[in-house]
Amino acid sequence: MSALKVNNLFRYFGQLKAVNGVSFEVPQGSVCGFVGENGAGKTTTMRILATLDHPTMGRAEVCGHDVTQKPAEVRRMIGWMPDHFGNYDHMTVIEYLDFYARALGYKGEERRKRIAEVMDFTDLGPLSDRFSNKLSKGMTQRLGLGRALL
C-alpha cells in the first residue's frame, strides 16, 4: 500500500490552474521531498491531501483512504503543519499543547502521556513554562510540529 497516491489531480480557482494534472505515489516507510517553483501547486496539493481543500478533478489517497470520500479516516492518519500558525499571548508551551490535546479529544492520563511524548520528541520540555509567543522561530516550528504530532 502507498502512503500517498495522487492520480491526475486538478484544482482550479476560476481560470487559475493551481494544480494541473499532478500524479505521484509515495510508498509507505519512505521519505520524500515535494519541491517546485513558487506557484507550482505544492501547497494546494498538500491542502488537498490534508482534506483542507477539494480537488476540481482527480483522486488523492492517504494510506488507501480517498481524501474526498473518507476525510475523517485521512485526518486520523496525518498531521498538518503549515508555515504559519496561531500562537496565543499569555499561553505557555505546555498550555498550548494541552489546549490542542483537549481539542483533539485526549482525556486524563492519556492526554498527559501524549503531551509528554510529544514534548520529549520535540525537545520542548525545558521550555514548557515559556510563553508560546516568545519563542524563537525554530522553537516555534518545534511547537507547531508538536501540535501536528498530537
88 CB neighbour count, 10 Å cutoff:
12
pLDDT at 96 over 90: yes
pLDDT at 85 over 80: no
What's the pLDDT tens digit per position in 59-84? Answer: 999 999 999 999 999 998 887 777 76
- Cβ–Cβ under 8 Å, residues 143 and 96: yes
pLDDT for the residue numbered 81: 76
| Mean pLDDT within 114-141 | 93
Q: pTM for the complete prediction?
A: 0.68
Exposure b/e, 17-53, CB count within 10 A at least 16 = b: ebbeebeeeeeeeeeeeeeeeeeebbbbbebbbbbeb
What's the pLDDT tens digit per position in 6-64? Answer: 999 999 999 999 999 999 999 999 988 889 888 899 999 999 999 999 999 999 999 99
pLDDT for the residue numbered 79: 78
Q: What is the mean pLDDT of the chain?
A: 92
Confidence of residue 137 (pLDDT cuts 50, 70, 90): confident
